[in-house]
Every structure is written in structure tokens, then in C-alpha cells.
Amino acid sequence: MENEEMYQLLIKMKEGDEQAFHRVYDATFQDVYRTVSFLVDHKQDREDVMNEIYMQMWTSLANYDTNRPFQFWLHGLVIRQVQRFRVKSWRRFRIFERIRSFSHEESYLDEHTALMDGTNQMISQSIRKLTDKQRTVIIFRFYHDYTLEEIATLLDIPLGTVKSRYHAGLQALRKYLGNLPLERMEKINDY
């Protein structure tokens, strides 16, 4: 979708046009879902997070500064909703832990989802092994081509912290992937 067309749809959305919302949703859903798939393990949780993201987009569009890129603003919503989900999950985990010992569920790595579209499965599995903080930085760097400065702005953390997580994530990926050169990883992730 062209930027001008998106801009017109956003203006209509601000005026309460539900059809414009549906068109923006259709234009952005796949990209947002892929990002959420990397950051949230379970399919049901992803759907909950997706619902929250688009509800938040509808209710907070008045706060969107049309001078800034819409995609960047939307990714800000994504990361805030994923972080909110993690906080809720952690609280639930602590409650369940008190009741019984936590049993680790198998991951859903063999599940065919949008996560696997155009992405090498070996790299996807390695990315899942990263810490949540490292994974977030790696996803926004490699899948959305944000600079480290933009990621720092998006996550509202210092640039040095982003660099630290980025380099630690890359080291871990190289370890998991057998020292796969960075250029190879970028080529595989090209979409």
C-alpha cells in the first residue's frame, strides 16, 4: 500500500471510519503477526496480543503524529503490547508456580504458521533460543530493518543497551548456527 493511500486511510480512521480501519488492518496484519509470532510462543497468546494491538491502534490513533512513519508507530504498539503480555504472563506464572511446579511445554516450532513463511527454519529455531530482550532487538533489526537508534527509540531504552543486546544476540545466534556469517543470515531473511 502506498504511503499516501495509507495516510488517507489513517485520516478516515481518525474520523471513525470502520472501513478504513479494516483496510489498514488488512494491509498490516501479516507483518504484525509475523513479528508477534517471533516474540510470543503460543498461538492463542499471539491472537490475544494481536487483538490488543489493533484495539490499541483504534483507540489511540488520535495520538499518532502523522509526520512520523506509521509503520514505526505501529511497531511501537506491537512492542508495548508484547511487553504488557509478558508482564501478565509472568504474574500468571508466579501464581501457577505456587500451586504446582511449572512444567515446560514443548514449543510450537514445528507448527506451520506465518512465522515460517520465507524464513529458514534453522534460523527461526535459533532466534527462539535467545532471551526475550535479545530476540526483540534481533527481530526489529533483521526483519524490519530498523537502525539500532530507531530500536532504542521504539523500545524506549538507551542505545548502549540496544547495542549490548544486539551483539549478545548475534553471538548467541552464531553459536547456535555454527558461526554462520552474518551476510548469509541476512540473505536467508530477505523478503
Q: What is the mean pLDDT of residues 118-131?
A: 77
pTM of the model: 0.64
Could you check whether 1-112 and 113-190 share the same CATH topology?
A: no
Provide the grid cell at 18: 470502520
- Residues 89-121 pLDDT 10s: 877 766 666 665 544 444 444 444 545 544 567
Is residue 119 a contact partner of residue 38, using CB atoms and an 8 Å limit? Answer: no
* C-beta of residue 24 within 8 angstroms of C-beta of residue 71: no
The stretch 3-31 carries a mean pLDDT of 89
Domain boundaries, the chain: 1-112, 113-190
pLDDT, tens digit (0-9, with 9 covering 90-100), for 47-64: 999 999 999 999 998 888
146-to-2, 118, 160 alpha-carbon distances in Å: 19, 19, 15
Q: Domain 113-190 belongs to what architecture?
A: Orthogonal Bundle (1.10)
Of the given ranges (85-94, 126-135, 145-154, 165-174), which has the lowest mean pLDDT?
A: 85-94
Q: Domain 1-112, what architecture?
A: Orthogonal Bundle (1.10)
User: So what's the pLDDT on residue 97?
Assistant: 60
